């Protein structure tokens, strides 16, 4: 099923597009997705459809300065605003759904997700990041393309090593580049995400 999209205000005051991909049946868990730089949440329609077909809801919003957010294009006065917005959004989603909530981030969104997870702590059931934490103790899945020329796989290996979580998994897809959710082999990546989610709900 495609996304339900509405423009709404986050508790931080950001007015932006909010996307919801909901399963037809009961929700196993809710994934809060954070897109990367120069992207928008609508690019993740195939991810939302994939997860919702397997019983997981995906909630995303357009980051400040991106997509349909009502803020200056490509501008944020300080990086922490991304983290503040994401923490507020995750709390809003959790209170709205009452379901187990996990964070998923790609590229810059991966960094935002890690920082937000450190703030949210036990409010989260887990973290999935496709790139780059010692304060992160929730279960974590770190994904990275082995042929990524934008963020080197070394960064995800270092992130993985730094995570304080006792339950952590690192997957490097040797033939993939930076856009692991959008490459030809994306079905393998998404299947790994769904399998990890099944084990952590």
pLDDT recorded at residue 27: 97
Q: Enter the pTM of the model.
A: 0.79
pLDDT recorded at residue 178: 94
pLDDT recorded at residue 150: 83
Q: Is 121 left (phi over 0), alpha (psi -120 to 50) or beta?
A: left
- The residues spanned by each domain of the chain are 4-199
- For the record, the structure tokens of 72 come out as 């200056």
User: What is the per-residue DSSP string for 21-63?
Assistant: E--SS--SEEEEEE--TT--GGGGHHHHHHHHHTTEEEEEEPP
pLDDT recorded at residue 29: 98
- CA 41/CA 93 separation, integer angstroms: 15
CATH number corresponding to 4-199: 3.40.50.1820
pLDDT recorded at residue 131: 56
pLDDT recorded at residue 142: 94
Contact 196, 171 (CB under 8 A): no
Note the pLDDT tens digit of each residue in 68-98: 999 999 999 999 999 999 999 999 999 999 9
Burial 89-128 (b: 16+ CB within 10 A, else e): bbbbbbeebebbbbbbbbbbbbbbbbbbbbbbeeebbbbb
- For the record, the structure tokens of 171 come out as 């997957």
The β-bridge partners of 34 are 105
The parts of the chain modelled with pLDDT lower than 50 are none
């Amino acid at each position: 099923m495609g996304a339900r999209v509405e423009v709404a205000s986050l508790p931080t005051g950001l007015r932006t597009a909010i996307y919801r991909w909901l399963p037809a049946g009961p929700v196993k868990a809710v994934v809060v997705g954070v897109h990367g730089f120069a992207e928008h949440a609508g690019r993740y329609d195939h991810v939302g459809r994939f997860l919702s077909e397997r019983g997981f809801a995906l909630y995303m919003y357009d980051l400040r300065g991106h997509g349909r957010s009502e803020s200056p294009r490509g501008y944020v006065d300080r990086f922490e605003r991304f983290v503040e917005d994401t923490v507020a959004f995750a709390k809003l989603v959790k209170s709205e759904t009452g379901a187990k909530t996990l964070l998923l981030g790609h590229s810059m969104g991966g960094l935002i997700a890690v920082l937000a997870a450190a703030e949210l702590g036990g409010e989260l059931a887990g973290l999935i990041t496709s790139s780059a934490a010692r304060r992160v103790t929730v279960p974590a899945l770190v994904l990275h393309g082995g042929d990524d020329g934008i963020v080197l796989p070394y960064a995800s290996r270092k992130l993985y090593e730094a995570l304080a979580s006792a339950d952590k998994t690192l997957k490097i897809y040797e033939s993939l580049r930076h856009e692991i959710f959008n490459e030809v082999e994306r079905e393998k990546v998404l299947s790994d995400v769904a399998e990890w989610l099944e084990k952590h709900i």
